[in-house]
Amino acid sequence: MLNGEDRWSILLDDDRKFIVGALRRRFDQQWNKEISIKVICFIWKAVQKRILTVKALQEKGVLIKSLGCGSFISCFDCVDHIIVHCPFTCEIRREIFKWCGIYQSMFNNLEDIISFINTWGNGSKKNNRFIAISYGMIWNLLKYRNDMLFKSIFTSPSKGVDFIKSSVYLWIKRRGRGEICKWGDWVSSPFHTC
């Protein structure tokens, strides 16, 4: 410990001074602006196993007919099942990844998927695009599951894939820096402008 004046020190600038602008530049470099904060927070909560599953809802006193998965009653409804192991989820993920030209589809848990998503493409523009697509997929998987459980609305995997493609396209078009291809190109490959 040194005698003297207390001051903030940070490793963002060469002079080690705490400057809000330097911190802002760091966030701007690392933040994927194509994804809404609501989706990013959901992904964070899912990784922490803090999203409401049927079991969690029942523990809070909400009566649910079954503890099973909305599409396959014999499977237990938990975060990893909803997002990783459910056959419905696996089919959608396989099609979305195939559309992206990726043929990796075996994961043990949500952490494996998030790790794969965040490291694929090594920080390139393609990686940011793939993160947006994957987070959109995970966001919509929970929506489809909730529609099945609470509204008795079933979404087919092919319709789910189409909706994910269109919703992520709109996210990027509205939130991105104008670096999005035409819809016809997007449908064939999401990386036309990357």
What's the pLDDT tens digit per position in 87-120? 899 999 999 999 999 987 689 999 999 999 988 8
Tokens read off for 37: 């904060």
- Whether the per-residue pLDDT at 133 is higher than 90: the answer is yes
**At 97, which amino acid appears?**
F
- Averaged pLDDT score across all residues of the chain: 82
pLDDT of 80 strictly over 80: yes
If one compares 29 and 121, the residue with the highest pLDDT of the two is 121
What's the average model confidence in pLDDT over 108-137?
89
Torsion of CA 75, 141, 59, 108, to 10 degrees: 60
Q: Residue 76's beta-bridge partner residues? A: 68
pTM, whole model, 2 decimals?
0.79
More confident residue, 137 or 194: 137
Alpha carbon distance 31, 189 (integer Å): 23
pLDDT of residue 33: 77
| Rounded mean pLDDT, 126-135 | 92
pLDDT bin (cut points 50, 70, 90) of residue 19 is: low
Grade residue 32 by pLDDT with cuts at 50, 70 and 90: confident
> Exposed/middle/buried for 66, CB within 10 Å: 0-12, 13-18, 19+?
exposed
